[in-house]
Structures are given as structure tokens and as C-alpha cells.
Structure 1
Amino acid sequence: MTVTRPARLTGAALCAALALIAAVWILKDLAALGSPVDLAWYWAGDHHFLIRGRSATSLIDAVLLVVSVAAAVAALRSRHAASALAATGTVTLALRLPGLWTPDSGALVTAFLELALAAALIVTAAVGRRPATASYEPLPTRPRTGPAVAAGVLLCVTALVVALWELYWSTELPLEITVDRFIGGRSVIKAALAPPPGWLSLVLVAVYGTAAVSAFVRARHSRSLGLLAGAFLTAGGIAEIARISRYELVGHWADLPTAEQVGVVSAFFELLAGITVLVLLAGRGAPAAAPGPYPSAGMPPPAPPHPPPPGW
């Protein structure tokens, strides 16, 4: 399947609009905090300097900005960008949905706008598809078997780790806080645009699991889903390791409780898994199968007609 040129241009424009919204909010936070370094530390989980200002964005906004720009470039350069457009629209829709019940008016308006753009992006990717009938329109290549299986295993393990951490917090925290982690509430401190942490975990488990299944079956769209999952994995791992370095948790390993030790190991695994998935799925795909021989190739010539016509 390919994407028509009008659909590609429309998808690129929608992705550019999503990226622009995220960029405006990030610039607004930079003006409030006064330092890109402080904003980066806030995204990594260090909120001790909030007396100088409060950030409305989170690491999710930065990742969505990069993903939207990448999808816009893919739509302009490739006729096979339907999966990239659909994946970008779907993950944006899922992550911005909790913004509909946020008390912040600016975040609420942003959520409505981004949900509309994300829905339009999904519709554009679906309606703009057409079969590749011409011989000069090759289908997108599938990932090679080895890298696809390895990426699928890493994504499956990561989805399991995220699910187990959410199960752990649900048993350690009171029921009210556990509910707030999924639907938002006063007991959860987060940026205005950020989804609740439990909701984010559910979305990430769905993204990692879907990307893993598509990688196992070597679907043609597995590269777009895998790179999207790898981007979230890598960004989350970088943020966690930065926080670990900030508080020198590795240097005090023996004094850490078991949960903190497991968290440190999970952070390093998350970063390594994310980078590995990106490398495995960004490489060259498997070569397309050569077309089969013509029906007459390798077959004996037909028998002469009987009786033979004159001059045979």
C-alpha cells in the first residue's frame, strides 16, 4: 500500500502542527524556568527547583515533538508513510486523552486541539492509502528475521517490566493514590500536559506490546512501530539514568532498598533496550523476493498442431 500525494502533504501538515504546539509549550517553559538545563532536569524527575517556576511540559512532550517531526519528514519523502502517520496519530491520541479532564484551561484547550489533529492524522493515513499496482512502486521491505525477533524479545521484556512496576505501585500505595495514578487527581504531582503516570504506563505497555507482535511477524509496518517504541524507551532510560546520576544512587548501592536497586537496573536495561531496538529496526530491511519465472520458463515447447498447417 502507498499513500497518495495529497494525503502525504496533509499528513505532513498535521504532524507539523502537532510539533509546533509542543514547541510553543516548551518555549513557554523555557521562559518560565530560565534555563534549558533546569527544564531538562525537570523532565528527568528533579522537581526541587520549582520555586522559580513550574513546567507545563514533560519528557513526553519532547518525545512527541521529535516523533511528529520524524513523521512529517517521512510523509514528505516516502510513499509508504501510512504506518508512520497512523502510529503518530494513535500514540498522540492516547497520551493526550487524559487532558480532557484536566483543571488547567490552557492544557484543556491544547488537549482538544491535539486530539483533533491526531484523529485527523489517523483518518488521513487510512483514507489516503491505495494499492501499489504499478511495477515501479515497490512495497516497503520487511525487517530481517534476526533483528526483528531480537527487537520483539526486547520490547516484550520491556512491556512486562513496565506492567510489573505498575502492579508493584498498586500494592504499595493506598487505593486513592493508585486510582489517581490512572485518571489523575490531587495526590499525583505532575506537569499540566503530562498524562497520569499509571495511564502512561498502560499506553507504553500497549505500544511496546503491539510493536513486539508486529516485529515477531515481520509486518511491513513493524519498523515504524518499533522505532516509535524505541524512541520512548531510549528517552525514558536517559531520563532515569540522569536522575540516578543526579542523586548518586549507584555510589550508595548498598544503602538502597531493594525496590530502588531494581529501579536502577531497570533504568539501565531500558536505555540499552531502547538503543538496541532503534539500531536493529533502523537498518536495511530484507531484500524483496525476486519475481517468479514466467509460466513458460523451463517447460517444453507445445506440441505441433495435427494435422500441421501448410508451411509448418
Structure 2
Amino acid sequence: MTVTRPARLAGAALCAALVLTAAVWILKDLAALGSPADLAWYWAGDRFFLARGRAATSLVDPVLLVASAAAAVAALRSRHAASALAATGAATLALRLPGLWAPGSGALVTALLELALATGLVLVAAVGRRPAATPYEPLPGRPRTGAAVAAGVLLAVAAAVAAGWELYWASRLPLEATAARFTGGRSVVKAALAPPPGWLAAVLAALYAAAAASALARARHTRAFGLLAGALLAAHGLGGTAGAVRYEVLAHLADLPAVHRADVLTSLFELLAGVAVLVLLAGRGAPAAAPAPYPPAGVPPPPPPHPRPPGW
């Protein structure tokens, strides 16, 4: 299956609109905080030293910006961009949905706009596909077996870890606090555009699990979903690891309580696993099977078999 040229152009335009929306908010936060370093530390979760303002974006925003830009380039360059458009649209839909009930008109308008753009991406990826024009048209390659299995195992472990942490907090927190982790509210401290922490963990666990299943099956869409999952996994781990390095937690890791030690080790695993998934799936895939050769010009087709089978 390939994507028609009008659908590819429409998908690229929708991705460009997503990039522009994210860029406007990031530039607005840079103006409010005054320093890219301060904004980067805010994204990493360190908000205590900031006194000049409060950012509306989170680590999710730059990752979605890069994913949207990459999907736009893929749509313009490749006839097999359906998986990239679908992955970007589905992730944006899932991560922006809580913005519908977030306080603040700016977050609501942004959520409505990005949800509409993401829905358009998914529809373009589904409706804009067409069968190959000829049996000789090449298909997108599958990932190599070793790289796909390794990436699938790492993503499956990451999905289990994310789900395990949410189960742990659900068992430790009151029911109201657990619900607030998924729905947001005044008791949850987060950036205006950021999804609630429980919702984010659930979406990431689902994305990691889906990408792991496609990688282990060596599906043709593994590259798009796996790279997006790897980018989010690495970004999530980078935030926690950066905070641990800033406050020299790694040097006193053995002295920390078990829960805090496990949290730091989880961030390190997510960072390393995310980078490994990106490296494994960014490489060249397995060579596609060679299409059937064209018959030489002027050569008649081969004669029918004799005796002819029933129904020939």
C-alpha cells in the first residue's frame, strides 16, 4: 500500500501546522523564562529555582514537534509515509486529549486545534492509501530480525516498568489522588499543556507495548511507531537522569531509600533503552524481496499447462 500524492501533501501540511503550534508555545515559554537553559531544566522537572515565570510546555512538546517535522519530511519524500502520519496523529491524539478539561482557555484552544489536526493525520493515513499500481512496485522493508527483537524486548520491559510504577502509586495514594493523576486538577502540579502524570504513564505504556509487539512481529510499520516510542522513552528518562545529575543523587545512590533508588534507576534505564531503540530501528532495514522481473519485450506469455487444471 502507498499514499497518494494529494494525501501526502495534506499530511505534510497538517504536520507543519502541528510544528507551528508547538513552536509558538515553546517560543512563548522562552520569552517568559528568558533562558533556554531554564526552560530545559523546567522540562526536566526542576521548577524550584525558577522565579521569572512558569512554562506551559513540557518534555512532550519538543518530542511531538520533532516527530511532526519528521512525519512532514517523510510525507513529502516517500510514498510509504502512512505509518509515520498515523503514528504522529495517534500519539498527538492520546497526549492532547486531557487538554479538553484542563483549566485555562489557551490550553483548551490548543488542545482543540491539535486534536483536529491529529484526527486529520489519522484520516489521511487511512483514506489516502491505495494499492500498488503494479506488482513490481517496491514495498517498505521490514526491520532486521536482531535489531527488531532487541528493540521489542527493550520496549516491552519499558511498558511493564511504566505500568508497574502506576500500580505502585495507586496502591500507596488515596483514591482521590490516584484519580487526579489521570484527570488532573489543582492537586496536580504540572505545566499547562502537559498531560496528567498518570495519563502520560498510561499512554506511554500503551505506546511502548504496541511498538514492542510490532517490532517482535517485524511489521512494516515498526520503524515509525518504534522510533516515536524510543524518542519519548529517551526523553522521559533524560528528564529524571538530568535531575539526578544536577543534585548529585547518583553519587549517593546507595544511601537513598529503596523507592527513590528505584526511581533513579528507572530514569537511567529509560534513557539508555530509549537511545538503544533509536539506534536499533534507525538503521537500514532488511532488504526487500526482489519483485518479479518484467517479461522481455515482444516475448509471448508462456503456454497454459497441459493437461489444464479444473476451472482454468
TM range (shorter): over 0.9
Instruction: Using the TM superposition, give the Cα deviation of residue 254 of structure 1 relative to its aligned residue in structure 2, in angstroms.
Output: 2.9
**Closer, same or farther: CA 54–291 of 1 in aligned 2, 3 Å:** closer
Per-residue deviation, residues 60-105 of structure 1 (Å, max 9, x unmatched): 0111111100100111111000000011000000000000001111
Q: CA 1:250–1:208 in 2, change beyond 3 Å: closer, same or farther?
A: same
Shift of 1:221: 0.4
Distance change in 2, residues 1:176/1:134 (3 Å): same
List aligned pairs for 1:168-247, cutoff 5 A: 168-247=168-247
Cα distance, 1:292 vs. partner? 6.6
- Give the equivalent residue in structure 1 for 2:137: 137
Match in the other structure for 2:272: 272
The letter for the 2-side match of 1:35 is S
Q: What residue in structure 2 maps to residue 19 of structure 1? A: 19
Q: Distance in 2 between matches of 1:211 and 1:146?
A: 15
| C-alpha separation in 2, matches of 1:217 and 1:67 | 23
What is the alpha-carbon distance in structure 2 between the residues aligned to residue 183 and residue 276 of structure 1?
32
Distance 1:181 1:69 in 2: 30
Task: Quote the residue 1:93 is aligned against.
Answer: 93
Unpaired runs of at least 5, structure 1: 304-312
Equivalent-residue separation in structure 2 for 1:59 and 1:290 (angstroms): 42
1:159 equivalenced with 2:179 (yes/no):
no
In the TM superposition, 1:115-134 aligns within 5 A as 115-134=115-134
CA distance in 1, matches of 2:290, 2:105: 57
Pairing of 1:74-85 with structure 2 (within 5 A): 74-85=74-85
CA distance in 1, matches of 2:292, 2:241: 51
Partner of residue 299, structure 2:
none
Amino acid at match of 2:269: F
Q: Provide the secondary structure at the position in 2 that maps to 1:287.
A: coil
Letter in 1 for 2:229: A
Cα distance, 1:41 vs structure 2: 0.2
Q: Which amino acid aligns with 1:252?
A: H
Q: Distance in 1 between matches of 2:142 and 2:28?
A: 41
The amino acid across from 1:144 in the alignment is: R
Q: Which amino acid in 1 is paired with 2:253?
A: W
Q: Deviations over 1:259-283 (max 9, x none)?
A: 1111111111111111111111111
TM superposition shift of 1:133: 2.8
SS at 1:252 equivalent: helix
DSSP-derived class of the 1:6 partner: helix
Query: Match of 1:91, as an amino acid?
Result: A
Cα distance in structure 2, aligned partners of 1:266 and 1:272: 10
The farther-off stretch of 284-293 and 213-222 is 284-293
How many Å separate the matches in 2 of 1:46 and 1:172? Answer: 24
Query: What is the one-letter code of the residue matched to 2:64?
Result: L
Q: 1:293 to 1:121 in 2, by over 3 A?
A: closer
Q: Distance in 2 between matches of 1:116 and 1:137?
A: 33
Alignment partner, residue 71 of structure 1: 71
Taking every aligned residue pair, what percent have the same amino acid on both sides? 73
* 2:251 counterpart residue number: 251
CA distance in 1, matches of 2:234, 2:148: 18
Please state whether the residue corresponding to 1:84 is helix, strand or coil.
helix
- 2:46 paired with 1:46: yes
Q: Indicate the structure (1 or 2) with the bigger Cα radius of gyration.
A: 1
Return the offset for 1:246: 1.1
Letter aligned with residue 4 of structure 1: T
Alpha-carbon shift at residue 49 of structure 1 (Å): 2.8
The letter of the residue matching 1:179 is: A
SS of equivalent to 2:191: coil
* Letter in structure 2 aligned against 1:288: A
Letter in 2 for 1:210: A
RMSD of the alignment, in Å?
A: 2.0
Deviation for aligned residue 1:176: 1.3
- Residue in structure 2 matched with residue 309 of structure 1 by the alignment: none
TM-score (norm 1): 0.92
Alpha-carbon separation, structure 2, partners of 1:260 and 1:191: 23
Q: Contact conserved, 2:136 with 2:292, CA < 8 A, in 1?
A: no
